[in-house]
Amino acid sequence: MEKTVNIFLYGKKYAVPENLTIMGAMEYAGYQLVRGCGCRNGFCGACATIYRIKGDRELKVCLACQTKVEENMYIATLPFFPLVKAVYDIEKVSPTEQIMMQLYPEIYSCIGCNACTKACTQSLNVMQYIAYAQRGEYEKCAEESFDCVMCGVCSSRCPAGISHPQVAMLARRLNGKYLAPGCGHLEDRVKEIRDGTFRELMESLMQKPLEELKELYNNREIEK
């Protein structure tokens, strides 16, 4: 028999194999996960979870897909961590410090507590990329936040109420739209798609059985 640990899901006790992730343990216990789980084989930020270990007062946060169960782990999940998303038209904004001030003024209330960085499930330097956003350094903000999966855990710990992932998303959009060098190959391919160049090929692929698609993918020509 596999070695088991005792965990508590929404207050109810279960004995589950110790090598499972929280997500796997929930399914092992009989829960049908219909929301708060996306990728299953990687991580997408949908399964933000809160937990506490018996005897430890600290409330911890994690992603259920990549965190293994522990003995006497008390677990609860939320549909999402609430974030404030400003509404804007990327075609009508410009990469100035004023646009961040206008859309996400709360970032200037940051007290430098670093709770966001400590909570980040990706170990990103969240406080640093917020500092870049404050100064209008969108290239640096985009680079520092590149691996963000927008789980919102950082924002759940922020006393200033900053929606860090949305700030980072705006910085990456500004950077991609206005600051980063253009990519001719990408622009040409987008035009070809819009012109219908690949429509016949796509329709043909959609008619092929799965095994043939796998074979085509595995033996595709890869650009050096």
pLDDT band with cut points at 50, 70 and 90 for residue 112: very high
At residue 127, does pLDDT exceed 90? yes
Q: Collect all residues with Cβ–Cβ distance below 8 Å to 178 and sequence separation of at least 6.
A: 94, 95
Quick check: pTM over 0.75? yes
Task: Provide mean pLDDT across the span 210-216.
Answer: 93
Q: Where are the domains of the chain?
A: 4-77, 97-179, 184-218
At residue 9, does pLDDT exceed 80? yes
Closest CA to 66 of 43, 32, 94: 43
Q: How far apart are CA 69 and CA 47, in angstroms?
A: 14
Give residue-wise pLDDT tens across range 64-79: 998 999 999 999 987 7
Closest CA to 49 of 31, 63, 67, 34: 63
CATH superfamily, with its number, for domain 4-77: Beta-grasp domain (3.10.20.30)
Q: How far apart are CA 156 and CA 61, in angstroms?
A: 9
